[in-house]
């Protein structure tokens, strides 16, 4: 009697698929007042950032508030910096509402939360970070200490708090050399909008770090220098009221000038869209 043998299906070794490139995972965008805003969320934004780091191709991201969108309407340098940004995410809740009113599925990607979430991820992945910004060098040191305590294993490999004036040529070269020597993968830029967008546009191709991220007031928040608005105020679009109550002398002109102009400008955009759809 011939013994029976078990039959096995031969399985070929798995073929490793190439990791998606940054272009493959770059979120789609939709325009609000001419500014292309990403239709994304935190996870997809961070996946794109990881892909940029892996590709080693220069890119910069702006977390845009209404202020930035409106300054871009009247300042050529800001407009160029926003137009040339690799990705602009909607930091302000009114921008999310505007996208949704245009029929898009949109989520807020708040700069301080993006920074916190990516630091948490990077503590596990080993992405190296440089901090550029802050009120002074002491505040920057406090920020680095707090981030390291909150996210054990986080690699902060350098930082610099620039003066509140344009850097001269020697200072610019020192910054470039310091960032490049650090071998950072991501440079967080917290010098305020639109100054940080203009800086990222100017320095993007002079830095070895592939990913520059402008996060505005995130440095002050995470360093414990300025309190953040309660979540409920952020959710209903009243964060600006809270910030105005904390820093009235610095912020009142900004909000008085740009908030009404945003409402009027977006109303005109909606009206143009409605007339176009009716034709």
The tens digit of pLDDT for each residue in 37-46 reads: 999 999 999 9
Residue 17 lies in a domain: no
The answer to whether 207 and 226 are in contact (CB under 8 A) is no
pLDDT of the residue at 270: 86
Residue 3 has pLDDT above 80, yes or no: no
Question: Is residue 16 assigned to a domain?
Answer: no
Token pair 């300025």 is at which residue? Answer: 226
CATH of the domain at 118: 3.40.50
- Residue 85 within a domain: yes
Residue 238 lies in a domain: no
> What rounded mean pLDDT belongs to the chain?
88
CB 215 within 8 A of CB 143: no
Q: Is residue 252 part of a domain?
A: no
Q: Is residue 20 part of a domain?
A: no
Of the ranges 5-14, 186-195, 209-218, 224-233, which one carries the lowest mean pLDDT score?
Answer: 5-14
pLDDT for 151-207, tens place per residue? Answer: 999 999 999 999 988 999 999 999 999 999 999 999 999 999 999 999 999 999 999
The token pair at 59 is 């890119």
Q: Is the pLDDT of residue 80 over 60?
A: yes
Q: Domain span at residue 228?
A: 26-232
* Residue 239, in any domain of the structure: no
Residue 21 in domain = no
Give the number of domains in the chain: 1
């Amino acid at each position: 009697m011939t013994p029976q043998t078990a039959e096995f299906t031969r399985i070929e070794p798995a073929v490793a698929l190439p990791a998606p490139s940054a272009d493959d995972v770059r979120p789609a965008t939709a325009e609000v007042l001419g500014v292309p805003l990403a239709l994304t969320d935190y996870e997809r934004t961070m996946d794109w950032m990881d892909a940029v780091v892996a590709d080693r191709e220069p890119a910069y991201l702006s977390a845009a508030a209404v202020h930035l969108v409106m300054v871009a309407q009247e300042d050529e340098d800001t407009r160029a910096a926003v137009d040339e940004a690799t990705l602009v995410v909607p930091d302000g809740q009114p921008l999310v509402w505007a996208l949704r009113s245009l029929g898009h599925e949109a989520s807020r990607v708040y700069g301080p939360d993006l920074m916190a979430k990516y630091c948490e991820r990077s503590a596990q992945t080993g992405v190296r970070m440089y901090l550029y910004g802050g009120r002074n060098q002491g505040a920057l040191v406090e920020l680095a200490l707090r981030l390291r305590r909150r996210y054990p294993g986080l690699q902060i490999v350098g930082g610099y708090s620039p003066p509140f004036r344009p850097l001269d040529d020697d200072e610019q070269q020192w910054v470039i050399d310091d960032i490049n020597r650090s071998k950072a993968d991501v440079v967080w830029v917290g010098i305020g909008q639109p100054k940080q967008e203009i800086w990222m546009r100017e320095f993007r191709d002079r830095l070895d770090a592939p990913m520059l991220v402008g996060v505005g007031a995130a440095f002050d928040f995470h360093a414990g220098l300025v309190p953040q608005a309660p979540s409920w105020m952020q959710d209903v679009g009243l964060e600006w009221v809270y910030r105005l109550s904390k820093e009235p002398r610095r912020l009142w002109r900004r909000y008085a000038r740009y908030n009404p102009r945003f409402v009027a400008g977006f109303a005109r955009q909606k009206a143009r869209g409605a007339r176009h759809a009716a034709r």
